[in-house]
Amino acid sequence: MEQQTTNFVSRLLRSKIFFAVVLVLFLLSTVVLINEIGRRYKFNQEMRQIQTEISKLANENRDLSNLIDYLNTPEYVESEARTKLLLSKQGESLIVMNSDSSSTSTSSTESLNQQKWLNYFIK
């Protein structure tokens, strides 16, 4: 009985059909393995690209936060009020120089400032 089993296994291992089946299974597993390696390689490339993009966006976010912090400082608000709204502190006099003539006029500056405030609140 044991010898019959041994003979059957021996014949099976030497048969051309067994060799063909093993070869086909080996080729299929090789193809699957190559596809999996290629898929993982693409996945790793995409991960690196996404991590680089995340890093860039984090830097941009940090820069924008710093800009927002600066724009909320009293120094910036005062600077903008002085340049865009022609405001001045108490005790300071404002001199506006036109490109046509070099004259100082505080009354025209005050009316210009008042006009800008009116335009700001009306529009």
Residue-wise pLDDT for 68-85, tens only, equals 999 999 999 988 888 888
Where residue 91 falls (left for φ over 0; alpha for ψ -120 to 50; beta otherwise) is left
Mean pLDDT of 84-94: 80
In a domain, 79, yes or no: no
Q: Are residues 63 and 99 in the same domain?
A: no
Nearest to 81 by CA among 120, 122, 31, 48: 120
- Reported confidence tier of residue 108, pLDDT bands at 50, 70, 90: low
Q: Are residues 67 and 97 in the same domain?
A: no
- Reported confidence tier of residue 102, pLDDT bands at 50, 70, 90: very low
Domain holding 121, by residue range, is 88-123
Looking at the structure of the chain, the number of domains it has is 2
Residue-wise pLDDT for 23-70, tens only, equals 999 999 999 999 999 999 999 999 999 999 999 999 999 999 999 999
In a domain, 81, yes or no: no
In a domain, 78, yes or no: no
- Using CA atoms, how far residue 83 sits from 7, 25, 95, 102, in Å, is 102, 80, 12, 18
Q: Are residues 60 and 6 in the same domain?
A: yes
In a domain, 55, yes or no: yes
Q: So what's the pLDDT on residue 92? A: 79
Q: So what's the pLDDT on residue 113? A: 80
In a domain, 106, yes or no: yes
